[in-house]
Copies of this chain bind each other. A is one copy, B any other.
Amino acid sequence: MDNNQNQTAFNNKDLDEETLFVVSQTFKALGDPTRIRILNLLIHHEYSVNGIAETLQLRQSTVSHQLRFLKNLRLVKYRREGTTLYYSQDDEHVMNMLKQMIDHACHN
């Protein structure tokens, strides 16, 4: 039996610390209006940092900070073109959950 097996497989009552950390961090990323707006933009296509800032009426600094947050969680990635960085989504599963929740919230 695999030592790295998660507790879900054992149907245990509590979650192991690492799973708990990853899950809470990921949901936390989706738990802020600014990050949701950024990710919602990136559903459709890539954007530069300034592109996001202008579209969402946010400071460049704010966008950059939140992108770093999302990048650390591998929820977004970027490609460089000259001095411009184009950010795009990097976790299809999480993006699907975001879409689901937006639809869930809209169907009231």
Contacts and interface: CB of A to CB of B under 8 A. Distances in A.
Interface residues of A, number: 41
A20 B106 CA distance: 10
Contact of A105 (B22, B30, B104): B22
Interface stretch (A60-68, A78-86, A95-103): A95-103
Given A19-B105, A19-B106, A102-B19, A31 B24 contact: yes
Given A6-B106, A106-B6, A101 B27 contact: yes
State how many copies of this chain the complex holds: 2
A26 interface: yes
Contacts of A106: 6, 8-9, 19
Interface of A is mostly: helix
22 contacts: A6-B106, A8-B106, A13-B41, A13-B55, A14-B40, A14-B56, A15-B40, A20-B33, A20-B36, A22-B108, A23-B98, A23-B101, A24-B32, A24-B33, A26-B105, A27-B27, A27-B30, A28-B28, A30-B31, A31-B31, A94-B104, A97-B100
